[in-house]
Amino acid sequence: MAELVVSSDGVETQHVHLIKDRTTLGRRHHNDVALSDLSVSGMHCVFERGDSGAIWLMDVGSTNGTYVNGERIQRRQLEDQDVVTVGIYSIRFLLQPPVAVAGQTSPMRLEALGAPGRAGAQKASLRVLEGVAQGRDVPLVKTVTTFGKPGDAVVAVYHRRHGYFVALVEAGEQPALHNGQPVGTDAAPLADQDVLELGDSRLLFILG
């Protein structure tokens, strides 16, 4: 099933499964995906499912345009991991839910760390210390939660049996930092009160 992961200032705000044949996105509240910022038109773009099951994205006369991987489009078939930009929002298109992808590609690196149990089944969240969403707490309720936006680094926070981990997914113009050190592609354990920096955003990891 296709999914949209909506982010603002590097913080995920919505996860939308494309279960309908036609999914509308815009600022007006009646849209399937409602984004309140004024950079988004009342009716901005539409995701449509073709006969073959492919997902097509169409701009519907928006003021600021619809972009896929940095290129302005009118109509385009989406591919896995495409990044759609609508106003201030970054929307990652996934053909499979992130948990399934992570289950195929990530556990070996995480288990290889052999890190002691720091978190286990404890709940955790990220608090935005600096950025557009300053003061917001983002619960880490999924097995994998990604943070970042086009032009900046993108990182993933993983919840595993041994605790929480962070790893680099996509490099940007500025490095993602974990307690002042660059985040690498090998997952590193997160501890309570650790700080992540992504572009202009600073996030505080809170355990429990």
- State the pLDDT at residue 111: 26
Query: Quick check: is 106 in a domain?
Result: no
The number of distinct structural domains making up the chain is: 2
136 and 51 housed in the same domain: no
- State the pLDDT at residue 75: 96
Q: How far apart are the C-alpha atoms of 188 and 167, rounded to whole Å?
A: 6
Q: What is the pLDDT of residues 143-200, one digit of tens each?
A: 778 777 656 678 888 887 778 989 887 788 888 999 999 998 888 899 999 999 988 8
Q: Which two tokens stand for residue 183?
A: 């985040």
- Name the residue among 57, 60, 54 with its Cα closest to residue 71: 57
DSSP labels, 48-116: EE-TTS-EEEEE-S-SS-EEETTEEESEEE--TT-EEEETTEEEEEESS-HHHHHHHHSHHHHHHT---
Q: What is the pLDDT of residues 92-131, one digit of tens each?
A: 999 854 333 333 333 222 222 233 334 445 789 999 898 7
What value does the mean pLDDT take over residues 33-52? Answer: 92
Task: Tell me what the pLDDT averaged over the chain comes to.
Answer: 82
Query: Quick check: is 18 in a domain?
Result: yes
**Of residues 10 and 132, which shows the higher confidence score?**
10
Query: Quick check: is 170 in a domain?
Result: yes
How many C-beta neighbours within 10 Å does residue 1 have? 10
12 and 80 housed in the same domain: yes
Query: Quick check: is 74 in a domain?
Result: yes
Q: What is the CATH number of the domain that holds 21?
A: 2.60.200.20
Q: What percentage of the chain has pLDDT greater than the value 90?
A: 44
- State the pLDDT at residue 50: 84
128 and 86 housed in the same domain: no
What value does the mean pLDDT take over residues 42-47? Answer: 97
Which amino acid is it at 114? G
Domain that holds residue 37: 2-95
Q: Which two tokens stand for residue 12?
A: 């995920």
Query: Quick check: is 118 in a domain?
Result: no
Q: How far apart are the C-alpha atoms of 27 and 30, rounded to whole Å?
A: 9
**Of residues 110 and 35, which shows the higher confidence score?**
35
131 and 181 housed in the same domain: yes
